Amino acid sequence: MDSKNVAVIGSGSWGIALAWRLHKNGFNVTLWARREETASKLRSEREDKDKLPGVILDKDIKITSNMEEALKDAGMIVVTVPSVAIREVCVKMRPYLAEGEEKRIIVNCSKGIEKDTLMVMSDVILDELPGSEVAVLSGPSHAEEVGKGLPTTIVVGAFSKESAREVQNVFMAEEFRVYISPDMLGIEIGAALKNVIALAAGIADGLGYGDNAKAALITRGIAEMSRLGAAMGGDYETFSGLSGMGDLVVTCASMHSRNRRAGILIGQGKTAAEATAEVKMVVEGINSAEAALALAKKYEVEMPIVEQINEVLFNGKEPREAVKELMLREKKAENELQEW
């Protein structure tokens, strides 16, 4: 293994953007694609004209569909596949991560909660690759902007400060500022739930509601995320940071956000399946919505926005009715902890 070699597992827009970033940082990058057809096209065109036009992969970046080739000699492994594919990809990685070898940090960049197990992605990785040194990378970071070298700030969580520092050193650049945090769970809960709230913000846009409604969804959304994260053992402060409020704002406000775009289409009358097909990318908020609701019930946390999103996505509820129900809920104080 060589610390200058980095494997990026996943050739979607985020994988391409991070491969570009890491190569700019001076690392030897190998990008793994699930299908040889995808790998071959990227090798010849050095660009994904559909998902990430204008981001050109240098000829020195290796592109392969062979997992063994991708992981060979890699000192760090960066996983960017959709959350629904994490477990399958870890199984593919397992034969090439020898027991007893020096541990390689696996950096999870996927955002979601596994529906059947209610595990965050780092736990899924550890379930399939026990004993691994896992870190998480998250924050307000659209691939479209990272791949163009626009200023971006993210946070890295890890079990040890040393591992967090190592990942920080690999990714840090003039246009890519990296903070570190010990709260891996909080970071991952924020990363997954903000996609669900962004669907709600998109639906409000699709219905023609204004900035007031979006500001309310963002503000009350962060309250729901914080309540659940704290109940699960995350740090409340994490949700006012980059992987909480930061990522939520950018995902709710930007047209780069596939979750917001899908929400707009749903607000305009399309089904979740139709919206996903039109966006042409994985919409993580749809995948995480049911798991978020299950976690809310498990930890007895009130999450009305998440409840209504599930009603719209899976039970055929009209979006306008869902908004009406949110607005007409029982009268409450904004913060129950504050005393008169």
- The whole-chain average pLDDT of the chain stands at 92
- Both 190 and 170 in one domain: the answer is no
- Both 175 and 190 in one domain: the answer is no
Rounded to a whole number of angstroms, the CA Rg of the chain reads 20
With the CA atoms of 225, 230, 234 and 239 taken in that order, what torsion angle do they form, in degrees rounded to the nearest 10? Answer: 40
Q: Which of 148, 182, 216 is the last residue of a domain?
A: 182
Judge whether 52 and 256 are in contact, CB under 8 Å: no
Q: Looking at the domain assignment, is residue 213 inside a domain?
A: yes
User: Residue 7 in 3-state DSSP?
Assistant: strand
End-to-end CA distance of the chain: 61
- Both 195 and 270 in one domain: the answer is yes
| pLDDT-based confidence at residue 284 (cuts at 50, 70, 90) | confident
Active-site annotation holds for 194: yes
Compute the average pLDDT of residues 157-180. Answer: 97
- Both 21 and 170 in one domain: the answer is yes
301 pLDDT higher than 90: yes
Q: Which of 135, 163, 182 is the last residue of a domain?
A: 182
- Both 211 and 168 in one domain: the answer is no
> What's the pLDDT score for residue 255?
81
With the CA atoms of 202, 118, 335 and 153 taken in that order, what torsion angle do they form, in degrees rounded to the nearest 10? Answer: -60
269 pLDDT higher than 60: yes
Which of 239, 265, 263, 268 lies closest to 251 in space, CA to CA? Answer: 263
- Both 154 and 13 in one domain: the answer is yes
Pull the structure tokens for residue 242. Answer: 């980059």
- Both 165 and 201 in one domain: the answer is no
Pull the structure tokens for residue 49. Answer: 């004209």
> What's the pLDDT score for residue 2?
63
pLDDT tens column, 225-251 = 999 999 999 999 999 999 999 999 999
Compute the average pLDDT of residues 17-44. Answer: 96
- Both 192 and 173 in one domain: the answer is no
- Both 9 and 144 in one domain: the answer is yes
Q: Which of 182, 200, 221 is the last residue of a domain?
A: 182
160 pLDDT higher than 60: yes
Q: Looking at the domain assignment, is residue 332 inside a domain?
A: no
User: Residue 44 in 3-state DSSP?
Assistant: helix
Instruction: Give Cβ neighbours of residue 167 (< 8 Å, ≥ 6 apart).
Output: 76, 105, 107, 135, 137, 156, 158, 178, 180
Higher pLDDT, 123 or 279: 123
Rounded to an integer, what distance in angstroms lies between the CA atom of residue 169 and that of residue 73? 19
Rounded to an integer, what distance in angstroms lies between the CA atom of residue 339 and that of residue 143? 43
329 pLDDT higher than 90: no
Q: How many domains does the chain have?
A: 2
Question: Which uninterrupted H or E stretch holds 75?
Answer: strand 74-79
Q: Looking at the domain assignment, is residue 334 inside a domain?
A: no
- Both 197 and 58 in one domain: the answer is no
- The neighbouring-strand residues paired with 74 are 2
Judge whether 125 and 86 are in contact, CB under 8 Å: yes
Question: The CATH number of the domain where 92 resides is what?
Answer: 3.40.50.720
79 pLDDT higher than 80: yes
pTM of the model: 0.91
Q: Looking at the domain assignment, is residue 339 inside a domain?
A: no
pLDDT tens column, 36-49 = 999 999 999 999 99
Catalytic residue among 51, 111, 194, 214: 194
Most distant CA atoms of the chain, gap in Å:
66
User: Residue 5 in 3-state DSSP?
Assistant: strand
Instruction: Give Cβ neighbours of residue 320 (< 8 Å, ≥ 6 apart).
Output: 207
Query: Which residues form the domain of 38?
Result: 2-182
> What's the pLDDT score for residue 44?
95
| Candidate ranges 43-52, 254-263, 273-282; pick with highest mean pLDDT | 43-52
Question: The CATH number of the domain where 193 resides is what?
Answer: 1.10.1040.10
165 pLDDT higher than 80: yes
Q: Looking at the domain assignment, is residue 337 inside a domain?
A: no
337 pLDDT higher than 80: no
> What's the pLDDT score for residue 100?
57
> What's the pLDDT score for residue 99?
65
> What's the pLDDT score for residue 64?
97
How much of the chain, in percent, has pLDDT values that exceed 90?
A: 79
Q: Looking at the domain assignment, is residue 336 inside a domain?
A: no
- The neighbouring-strand residues paired with 135 are 107, 158
- Both 274 and 248 in one domain: the answer is yes
pLDDT tens column, 98-140 = 765 667 999 999 999 998 999 999 999 999 999 899 999 999 9
With the CA atoms of 299, 196, 10 and 180 taken in that order, what torsion angle do they form, in degrees rounded to the nearest 10? Answer: -60
Compute the average pLDDT of residues 86-96. Answer: 95
- Both 258 and 309 in one domain: the answer is yes
Q: Looking at the domain assignment, is residue 338 inside a domain?
A: no
Q: Looking at the domain assignment, is residue 340 inside a domain?
A: no
